[in-house]
Amino acid sequence: MHVLATAGHVDHGKSTLVRALTGMEPDRLAEERRRGLTIELGYAWTSLPSGERVAFVDVPGHERFLGTMLAGVGPVPAVMFVVAADEGWMPQSEEHLVALRTLGVRHGLLVVTRADLADPGPAAKDAGGRLTEAGLRTGPAGGAVETLAVSGRTGEGLDALRAALDRLVAALPAPDPEAPVRLWIDRAFSVRGSGTVVTGTLPAGRVEVGDELELDGEPVRVRGLESLKEQAESVSGVARVALNLRGRVAGERGHALVTPGAWTATGLADVRVTMAEGARGPLPGRLTAHIGSASVPCEVRPLGPEAARLRLARPLPLHVGDTLLLRDPGRGQGELRVLARATVLDVRPPELRRRGAARERAKALAEASADAASLLRTHLLLRERELVAMGSPPPGRPVTGDWHADPGHWANLLARLPEVVRRHADAHPLEPAMPLEAARHELDLPDRRLVTALVRPPLTVADGRITTGRTAAGEAGLPAPVAGAVRTLLAGLSSTPFQAPEAGRLAELGLGPREIAAAVRAGALLRVADGVVLAPGADARAAAVLARLPQPFTVSQARSALGTSRRVAVPLLEHLDRRGFTERVDDVHRRSV
């Protein structure tokens, strides 16, 4: 299936032409039929000579309904531009063309209607030149837009138009059936016994019965699916679809059904601004942004000559590279209301806090493009799922896990880490190995795994700490005063290895809790309990002594055999239990293992 929109000045015969091509009435409202004026979007479809099916979104041509026209044109890939032979180019013809050009619609046909009332030649020449200059084309090779003269009343030229429509749809680029779904809703209503039904133009991707989508951040499930009034289990874009939804959220025009996790819902976007043909800056501070069928008020903050920040009245699901049309609905009759195209460059823009930050951001946006590399230059580190939701899947490998990094920022982090670890070692001589969490905070990283990925020799990671690979002053990496105190302590234990020094003696030696902890980490002391330290390996020596006792033995027998006090014997035996050297038999006895 293919979907086209109509465009053109009011009362130039757009609806009449659609009716003549399809045999269907696109004007759904009684008031439209009574007044002969399209007010709402109309829908009709037909089969072309090739067998291809084409659906039309018929839009209003009156200047009062430009917002509705944009809702119909926004999601479609091509247009049938209508100009009446007896009136020629008119103000809304111009505004519709400016809108199409701004939205980036580049495929279409020019149809000159009422050929039975006036010579279509002058209107065809004038309008054809304007459309071709605007970049509208029919075939893939470019050139002038194909022009047809018809009469919806007599049927003149309709067969030629059908053949031209076949040529047009054959030249349209094929949409990606695997693309994430973003279905802009253009109608929403309730059906008794079925619930909420929404309709829209599916530009790409695939929707199937049973799919779970998101609407305004809430999950909804597709319980039924129709395309052109025919039930289906699966539909791929481009297509007109109607979805019966199950969920807590009721849809409405301008909202979108999206693939979960594939879009970034944002109320703030940095954009590149391109003024519309005939529009002059600067942009007003308040405008209306259009994308798909959405029409959302926004505040415009200029950042530079072609850069701005848009603050949207409600979040929209966006990708970088999306095009928004900026319109001023408050302009008077005859004034151009389509002012600019806004190309989205960032859907999660950084805060602008510092003086001069806006100017720096404008400079960055001037060099930005809609890809992952540009996003990483701004955000430095992003998860793969974040890049996917922003519309730019990363082309390269992650630095660790699902994290991707800007190459320049990653190189800077690699250079900084050794210095950060060295400063920590100098500032904490008793704890020279830097905790990974401390390094994460120092480097302002969001995930500890990133720190580990930055470690290169001679740095190493062990037990959640980064070591420098260098030996500090003193023994076992201990500062000289601590190493000297440990040597003195060990000398005192050489003749009585299980008589741990009292707290006073430890204080006299200058071995407080931090010094003892450093000596234990360095392997220079064995701590069996708070305030009870022995020489390294003393537990194994004690186990050997106890193994020679009659089994089982008591704490008192163990204390005598080890030549120590109960203060040391009790925690030492508990330590030996934990290490598996001994085990309890009952509340009183133990035995060697």
Per-residue pLDDT of 407-455, as tens digits, reads 999 999 999 999 999 888 878 777 778 899 999 999 999 999 999 999 9
Which residues, 6+ apart, have CB-to-CB distance to 584 below 8 Å? 577, 590
Cα-Cα-Cα-Cα dihedral of 126, 127, 130, 133, to 10°? -100
3-state secondary structure 398-463: CCECCEEECHHHHHHHHHHHHHHHHHHHHHCCCCCCEEHHHHHHHHCCCCHHHHHHHCCCCCEEEC
Would you state the pLDDT for residue 473?
A: 38
Domain architecture of the chain: domains with CATH: 2-171 (3.40.50.300), 182-258 (2.40.30.10), 264-370 (2.40.30.10), 371-472 (no CATH), 490-592 (1.10.10.10)
Cβ-contact 428, 472 below 8 angstroms? no
For the sheet containing 42-47, what is the strand order?
Answer: 42-47, 53-58, 2-7, 78-84, 107-113, 147-149
How far is residue 504 from each of residues 425, 488, 491, 508, 564, measured CA to CA in Å? 29, 14, 17, 6, 17
How does 347-356 read in b/e, with b if 16+ C-beta sit within 10 Å? bbbeebeeee
- Rounded to an integer, what distance in angstroms lies between the CA atom of residue 65 and that of residue 67? 5
What distance, in Å, lies between the first and last C-alpha atoms of the chain? 80
In the chain, the amino acid numbered 261 is G
Q: What is the pLDDT along the chain (593 residues), one digit of tens a residue?
A: 899 999 888 778 888 899 899 988 876 545 545 445 455 788 899 999 999 999 998 887 555 667 787 887 878 889 999 999 999 999 889 888 988 888 888 999 999 999 999 999 999 999 999 999 888 888 766 678 899 999 988 899 999 999 999 999 998 988 999 999 999 998 898 888 788 899 999 999 999 999 999 999 999 999 999 999 899 999 998 999 999 999 877 789 999 999 999 999 999 999 999 998 878 878 999 999 999 999 999 999 999 989 999 999 999 999 999 999 999 987 655 566 888 999 999 999 999 988 999 999 999 999 999 899 999 999 999 999 999 999 999 988 999 999 999 999 999 999 999 999 988 887 877 777 889 999 999 999 999 999 999 999 989 888 788 987 544 333 456 788 888 899 999 999 999 999 999 999 999 999 998 889 888 877 889 999 998 999 999 999 999 999 999 999 999 999 999 999 999 999 999 999 999 999 999 999 999 99
Closest CA to 545 of 536, 535, 557, 534: 557
- Rounded to an integer, what distance in angstroms lies between the CA atom of residue 90 and that of residue 164? 24
